[in-house]
Amino acid sequence: MNVNEVLANRALEILRRPKGDYATLHPNDHINLSQSTNDVYPAALHLAVLGALADLHPPAMRLAASFFRLGRRYARLVKAGRTHLVDAVPVTLGGELRAYGSALRASLRNLKRAGDGLRELGLGGTGTGTGLNAPPGFGPAVCRELSRLSGTRLRPSRDLQMAMQSRRAAGDISAALRGFALELGRIVNDLRLLASGPETGIGEIRLPAVQAGSSFMPGKVNPSILEMVNMVCFRVIGNDQAAAWSVGAGQLEVNVMLPVLAESLLESAELLAAACEKMRAKCVDGIAADAKRCRDGARRSPAAATALVPKIGYTAAAALAGRAAAAGQDVFSQARAEKLLTEKDLRAAERSLLPR
């Protein structure tokens, strides 16, 4: 109702009439004609969230593109793979980083699919979805005009009573934002692991330093940008909980929890957009590989014995890996020392480990 008064008085200013001249232009009889808070507020929520999603897309795509560039740069740099945080057969650093870009793009596609439900508006349903006091065709006409003004394709709901009752579309987008945050947080955690060290961790990549890491330990550099992104992801996951409870709190013809629902969705989209941009500019674009550490790790990994299984069998390969570890040798050097296979077979096994 306060918005109606603001709009009425602004219109009176444009008409060069005094504010409060409601005989000329009334907040309810004119501004609010054929509409109710119950159909307008959800429509405003949908339009605002669609705008926030549009703002999220470019920085998220730029972040994905940065991972694809790193993927191309390090496409031939072989390193140890890891499953269960334990050495596994080799991968390339480029493939690992490229996959992060693919994951972000897949999450964006999911956001786009979920966002389609927000394009459906219940305008013209007025108070309870019956359309009382709205002329025929009012909802479709308003959707067409809003589409023109916003540059976003909008459509009227096929069931206006459902549009009053249900906030399912908002719940879907909240879940998709949570999914994006979960994927982004997983990537961030991987980068922190890969950069851990520099001497006592994995240390296969180096992150750009953005600030002194410690007021006590000189020279220490912490992954502060990635830690910031982690915290954003936690907040988005929390916002999804608030949004989910709000979506489920509708009663009969209206859901009165829209303010907290709107705040949760808008904050999540805005935080993720800012986090993606800072993560790209302050961290990912400056990532560099420690090529020697990557190659040495792949060479020393006992998981390389997997390539010998077709020739000597699983049990013998496992025993060889154990003997190589005890001798401080890589698997292939140990196999050569023991003359287990011909040089031709060993070279073929080594080549088979290279990621395709």
Three-class DSSP category at 15: coil
- Exactly one of 214, 215, 268, 352 is catalytic; name it: 214
**Interstrand relation of 288-289 and 155-156 (parallel, antiparallel or unpaired):** unpaired
> Does the pLDDT at position 355 exceed 80?
no
The CATH number that domain 301-353 falls under is 1.10.40
- The count of residues in the chain is 356
Question: In 49-187, which ranges are E strands?
Answer: 78-83, 86-92, 120-121, 155-156
Q: What is the pLDDT of residue 142?
A: 95
> Does the pLDDT at position 312 exceed 80?
yes
Confidence of residue 221 (pLDDT cuts 50, 70, 90): confident
Taking each helix axis from N to C end, the angle separating 331-338 and 314-327, rounded to the nearest 10 degrees, works out to 100
Strand partners, 88: 81
Instruction: Tell me the mean pLDDT in the region 224-239.
Output: 97
Confidence of residue 351 (pLDDT cuts 50, 70, 90): confident
Instruction: Tell me the mean pLDDT in the region 78-84.
Output: 95
Q: What is the pLDDT of residue 350?
A: 86
Confidence of residue 212 (pLDDT cuts 50, 70, 90): confident
Query: Domain ranges in the chain?
Result: 36-209+220-290, 301-353
> Does the pLDDT at position 268 exceed 90?
yes
Residues 335, 338, 344, 345: what is their CA dihedral angle, to the nearest 10 degrees? -50
Classify residue 254 by its DSSP letter.
Answer: B
CATH class of 36-209+220-290: mainly alpha
CA distance 18 to 14: 10
CA 277 to chain centre: 12
- Given a contact cutoff of 8 angstroms between Cβ atoms, the answer to whether 323 and 336 are in contact is no
CA distances (Å), origin 221, targets 188, 198, 199, 277, 287: 16, 9, 13, 21, 14
Least confident span in 24-33, 40-49, 214-223, 314-323:
214-223
Identical fold for domains 36-209+220-290 and 301-353, yes or no, is no
Q: What is the pLDDT of residue 198?
A: 85
> Does the pLDDT at position 94 exceed 90?
yes
- Given a contact cutoff of 8 angstroms between Cβ atoms, the answer to whether 301 and 209 are in contact is no
Q: What is the pLDDT of residue 51?
A: 96
Amino acid in the structure at residue 281: A
Instruction: Tell me the mean pLDDT in the region 220-228.
Output: 93
**Tens-digit pLDDT profile for residues 112-139:** 999 999 999 999 999 999 999 999 999 9
Residue 356 host element (H or E):
none
With a CB cutoff of 8 Å and minimum separation 6, the contacts of 217 are none
With a CB cutoff of 8 Å and minimum separation 6, the contacts of 186 are 103
DSSP string, 197-233: -SSSS--SEEPPP-S-S-SSSTT----HHHHHHHHHH
Active site residue 333: no
Omega within 30 of 0 (cis) for the link into 198:
yes
Three-class DSSP category at 89: strand
Instruction: Tell me the mean pLDDT in the region 253-259.
Output: 95
**Tens-digit pLDDT profile for residues 96-111:** 999 999 999 999 999 9
Instruction: Tell me the mean pLDDT in the region 262-286.
Output: 98
Q: What is the pLDDT of residue 175?
A: 97
> Does the pLDDT at position 220 exceed 90?
no
Q: What is the pLDDT of residue 79?
A: 94
Three-class DSSP category at 85: coil
Confidence of residue 91 (pLDDT cuts 50, 70, 90): very high
**Tens-digit pLDDT profile for residues 291-304:** 999 999 988 899 98
- Given a contact cutoff of 8 angstroms between Cβ atoms, the answer to whether 115 and 171 are in contact is no
- Give the residue among 320, 304, 297, 300 at the shortest CA–CA distance from 89: 304
CA distance 124 to 23: 25
- Given a contact cutoff of 8 angstroms between Cβ atoms, the answer to whether 269 and 55 are in contact is yes
**Tens-digit pLDDT profile for residues 138-175:** 999 999 999 999 999 999 999 999 999 999 999 999 99
Classify residue 354 by its DSSP letter.
Answer: S
Strand partners, 205: 289
Residue 31, token pair as written in the block: 């501004």
CA distance 41 to 37: 5
Amino acid in the structure at residue 213: G
